Amino acid sequence: MTKLSSGVFETGTLDERLGAAFHLHEREGLKFAAHLRGVAMFAITVWLFVLLGHAAWFYLPVTILFVASGYLHFVLAHHGLRSDGNAFLFFLFDVVLVTFALLAPNPLLTAEAVIWPEQMAFRFGGFNYYYMMIAIFLLGSYSARAMLFAGLACLIAWSAGVAWVSTFPSTIFEIPGFDQPQARLDRFLDPLYVSLDLRFTESLVLLLTTAILATAVARSRRLIREQVYAARERSNLARYFPPNIVEELAGHDRVLGTVRSQKVAVMFADMVGFTHMAEMVSPAELIEMLRAFHRRVESAIFDNQGTLDKYLGDGVLATFGTPETGPADAANAMRCAREIFKQVDEWNERRKDAGFPSVRLSIGLHYGEVVVGDVGTERRLEFAVIGDTVNVASRLEESTRAIGCKMVVSNDLVEALIADTPEQAEGLLIGLKPFENLELRGRDGSINVWTLGGAE
């Protein structure tokens, strides 16, 4: 038996966590099935007393044991003990119990001189109770194998009952052919006659029903598994996109691989002097510093509807307007940059108190046309933005060293911000100063930009 704990859902492989989730729902199903047993047995007991009078007392211990079996199974599962073997043992007990009640002679009926041959037990439709048992078993099992076992257990128990009755010398199995209709009818009405044809039909229908239910269980497991994998894919998307963009992507039939051209805001953010800082700290401290930096940058990007395109070691590339453009992409990019500076300043205060050097940050922002889509091969794909706009944003971030500022913003982004969100422009452009004819490395001509702050 396997002991389940909440930690199973937080550790292990996806299949292990999915299996633990199935066990949890099976345990909840066992509780519902136990309650349902009680209701069903109460209704059946009332009907037996109406049908048989005081002779129904013979079946009362059986109904009590049947209900107790369900609750005992649930109690064990509730305390963390759950396995297919455990479920099989309880179901075998239930099958043997019900088969005994269906085929064993009722001494209370015999005492009233109501002589019912044992063979007559097959005439009262008792086989139908097996369908109820399988339906109840289904509530507490997400295993197709277990469902097949349940059906086979019922068939074996019923067949054992037929075999038991066949040991009586008085039992009759033969029946005349259709060419002797009267003799055939007389034999069929004979209380000692047991029809093997009907027994085979009952077994065949039960086996087919169980197979159908097992198929439904297997299909349900597959659908749940697909939903879990889809949720995992959505979770992976959340590593790159803000939650609202993830929902939008999840609702689209169009794949990300569709290459298209659109205008976006591009941001490059980089830690200045990282190479020198790496020489001053241990590898563990270096990684922790990078993680702390990435957490702050990631939070600012997602909070402002941006897409974290990729980490660049001590820097990041983010876009605003992917996968779908919006009316405030330029404003979101500017707001994100200011939020990053704010978070890094607060971080530096804590680093200073702890005796660590301050982290310097440089940012480049640009707005323009890019190509959006998947790049790579079938074995390794990556969602990316490509184009001159990306290159310019990278060069703008690089130019902060030469200008002596902490952020360089292209005039194109400022114009887009003013045009698209004029009500936000004044607040977002505070502190920006124009800088004309900036030449960028590896690019002909010059561009007009805006700068923020001086290098600290």
Q: Give dist(CA 202, CA 106) in Å, integer.
A: 24
Q: Give dist(CA 118, CA 109) in Å, integer.
A: 12
Helix 196-237 and helix 144-166, axial crossing angle in degrees, nearest 10: 170
Check if the beta carbon of residue 135 is closer than 8 Å to that of residue 154: no
Q: Give dist(CA 201, CA 211) in Å, integer.
A: 15
Q: What is the mean pLDDT of residues 361-382?
A: 80
pLDDT band at 8 (very low <50, low <70, confident <90, very high): very low
pLDDT at 312 over 80: yes
pLDDT band at 238 (very low <50, low <70, confident <90, very high): low
Q: Does residue 323 have a cis peptide bond before it, meaning omega lies within 30 degrees of 0?
A: yes
pLDDT band at 241 (very low <50, low <70, confident <90, very high): low
Rounded to 5 degrees, φ, ψ at 91 are -70, -40
Give 82's strand partners.
2
Determine the pLDDT at residue 113: 47
Determine the pLDDT at residue 61: 92
CATH of 255-452 among 3.30.70.1230, 3.30.420.40, 1.20.1600.10, 3.40.50.300: 3.30.70.1230
- Pinpoint the residues of the chain covered by CATH 3.30.70.1230: 255-452
pLDDT band at 233 (very low <50, low <70, confident <90, very high): low
The more confidently predicted of residues 303 and 384 is 303
pLDDT at 7 over 50: no
DSSP string, 25-39: HHHHHHHHHHHHHHH
DSSP string, 234-264: HHHHTTTS-HHHHHHHHT-SS-TT--EEEEE
Q: What is the mean pLDDT of residues 119-132?
A: 87
Long-range contacts, stretch 140-143, CB < 8 angstroms, 24+ apart: 140/26, 140/27, 140/29, 140/30, 140/32, 140/33, 140/73, 140/87, 141/26, 141/29, 141/87, 141/217, 142/22, 142/25, 142/26, 142/217, 142/220, 142/221, 143/84, 143/217
Length of the chain: 456
Host H or E run for residue 450: strand 446-452
Host H or E run for residue 107: helix 107-110
pLDDT at 455 over 50: no
**Could you read off the pLDDT of 292-306 as tens digits, one per residue?**
889 899 999 989 989
Determine the pLDDT at residue 116: 75
- Mean pLDDT rounded to a whole number for the chain: 83
Give 309's strand partners.
none
pLDDT at 250 over 90: no
Rounded to 5 degrees, φ, ψ at 170 are -80, -15
Determine the pLDDT at residue 390: 94
pLDDT band at 10 (very low <50, low <70, confident <90, very high): very low
| Joined tokens for residue 337 | 């940059």
Helix (H, G, I), strand (E, B) or coil at 179: coil
Nearest CA among 82, 65, 95 for reference residue 30: 82
pLDDT at 261 over 80: yes
| Joined tokens for residue 185 | 């009818």
pLDDT at 454 over 80: no
Give 407's strand partners.
363, 452
| Joined tokens for residue 328 | 């405030």
pLDDT at 215 over 70: yes
pLDDT at 171 over 80: yes
**Cα-based angle 191, 119, 200 (whole degrees, multiple of 5):** 105
Determine the pLDDT at residue 384: 76
Mode of pairing for the β-strands spanning 260-272 and 360-376: antiparallel
Q: Could you give the percent of the chain with pLDDT greater than 70?
A: 82
Winning range, highest mean pLDDT, from 102-116, 184-198, 268-282 = 184-198
How many helices (DSSP H) and strands (DSSP E) are in the chain? 15, 10
| Joined tokens for residue 449 | 């930009």
DSSP string, 333-349: HHHHHHHHHHHHHHHHH
pLDDT at 450 over 90: yes
